[in-house]
Structure 1
Amino acid sequence: MPANPKYLSSNWQRFAKITAGFLGGYFVTISFHLAISFFFNHVNVMITSTYSGFILWAVLMILAFIAKNGWKIWAIYLLITFLFSIIIYFGKIYNPIIS
């Protein structure tokens, strides 16, 4: 019995969800850990990021597939990455020894 077409997404939506899950989730995860490394001990954050990074990346990937619109989730992930990048920028300004 074939699936009902109204529940199937287009190829572009499938592409957007897959790339948002893998790449967008990775960008958010890495930028988050880099941002908090400027406010805590950066060695401890980078060591902890091997475990917490995988968990966060997996959660973000699942959220990308749950979302109805892949392009909106891409926009959200890019916005979050941009916000963490601003935190990284100001972290480098106020803590230049770490970089």
Structure 2
Amino acid sequence: MKDQLGLYYYPNPAEKRVRMYVRKRYGQVEFRLWNSEAPQIWEGHDWVPYEAIVAAAEEYKKRKAGVDPLEMYDIRVAERLLADAGGEPA
């Protein structure tokens, strides 16, 4: 899907208040979270490259606490959105 902020998907399809925006920059897929009930998330956090998400997932595996970042930041969905929008897959 696309709106004025860019391409996005719903990380949890049942929760339409939260969107995950995706873009490809300098050959890397980047993500940015938006939440209609917490606009400060968008304003306070920049785009995150997928490499940083993978690193965070490694820390999650070590600590086994919180939510696995790879569940929310889905590279397969992002690549499909980018390809469908006319861009090359990551």
TM-score in terms of structure 1 length: 0.30
**Bigger relative contact order, structure 1 or 2, given CA contacts below 8 A and separation 6+?**
1
Larger Rg belongs to:
1
More strand per residue: 2
TM-score in terms of structure 2 length: 0.32
